[in-house]
Amino acid sequence: MTNQAHSLKFADVGQDVIIWPLAKIVSPEGISIGDSVIIDDFVFIMGGSKTVIGSFVHIASFTSIIGGGEFTIEDFAGLSGGVRIYTGNEDYLGGSLTNPAVPHPYRIPIRSFVHIKKHAIIGANTVILPGVTIGEGAAIGANSLVTKDCKPWTIYVDSPSRPLRPRPQDRILELEAQLHRELYDKKGNYIPKSQREDDYAD
């Protein structure tokens, strides 16, 4: 297996990062990646103006992150298969021509952002439009369309997305604290798999 974590020139890349060979990453120089991250085959990421991927993040096959704006996904968050994230948009409302085959000034693309906070999980085939923040611990059901911010620790479903019910946070935060005690040293540095006790190595 050729792990692209070691061949692409990222702005920053941590330890225990696996980027499968058939993932396509454009403009890696604008992308920072934390520790213990997995990016599956057939993921497509366009670096955009800035991309920050935290630690313990998984991005599943057939997910794309495009649009030229800023993308942030914090620690312990994940994108299921087929998620489409747009950090920028064309003018759908009639103010200009649209699509990248049309030159400026006839086309006025809007560059924006998407921010996914810690412990959020995005269900399969969900579409997230530009300018959205997914709150800490929010869970978005499969096939949702997210056009507005999602509140922390809330489960959302549907198109457009609506809150379904709260998502309990206590157990998740307890497990995060336990993981930190075991996988980080006293200075707060991540301990890579190769340096851990056998119990924790794969």
Ligand X SMILES: CC(C)(COP(=O)(O)OP(=O)(O)OC[C@H]1O[C@@H](n2cnc3c(N)ncnc32)[C@H](O)[C@@H]1OP(=O)(O)O)[C@@H](O)C(=O)NCCC(=O)NCCS
**Span near ligand X by CB under 6 A; candidates 3-11, 19-27, 93-101, 154-162:** 154-162
141 makes contact with ligand X (CB under 6 A)? yes
Interface with ligand X in residues 12-71 (CB under 6 A): none
Q: What is d(CA 90, CA 95) in angstroms, rounded to the nearest whole number? A: 10
- Read off the DSSP letter of residue 135: P
Cβ of residue 6: shortest distance to ligand X, in angstroms? Answer: 27
**Span near ligand X by CB under 6 A; candidates 25-33, 41-49, 87-95, 153-161:** 153-161
| Contact in structure between 201 and 193 (CB atoms under 8 Å) | yes
Cβ of residue 124: shortest distance to ligand X, in angstroms? Answer: 4
Interface with ligand X (CB under 6 A), residue from 18, 127, 142, 173: 142
| Contact in structure between 58 and 38 (CB atoms under 8 Å) | yes
Which one, 12 or 41, has the nearer CB to ligand X? 41
Interface with ligand X in residues 155-184 (CB under 6 A): 155, 157-158, 164
Which one, 48 or 123, has the nearer CB to ligand X? 123
The gap between the terminal CA atoms of the chain, to the nearest Å, is 16
Q: What is d(CA 31, CA 48) in angstroms, rounded to the nearest whole number? A: 9
The H or E element containing residue 178 is helix 170-183
3-state helix, strand, coil split of the chain in percent (to 5) is 10, 35, 55
Interface with ligand X (CB under 6 A), residue from 66, 124, 173, 191: 124
The H or E element containing residue 182 is helix 170-183
Interface with ligand X in residues 79-118 (CB under 6 A): 80
Count of residues of this chain found to bind ligand X when the rule CB under 6 A is applied: 11
Cβ of residue 38: shortest distance to ligand X, in angstroms? Answer: 13
Q: What is d(CA 200, CA 197) in angstroms, rounded to the nearest whole number? A: 6
Q: Other C-beta atoms within 10 Å of 174: how many?
A: 10
Which one, 49 or 143, has the nearer CB to ligand X? 143
Q: Which residues in this chain contact ligand X in the complex, by CB under 6 A?
A: 80, 123-124, 139, 141-143, 155, 157-158, 164
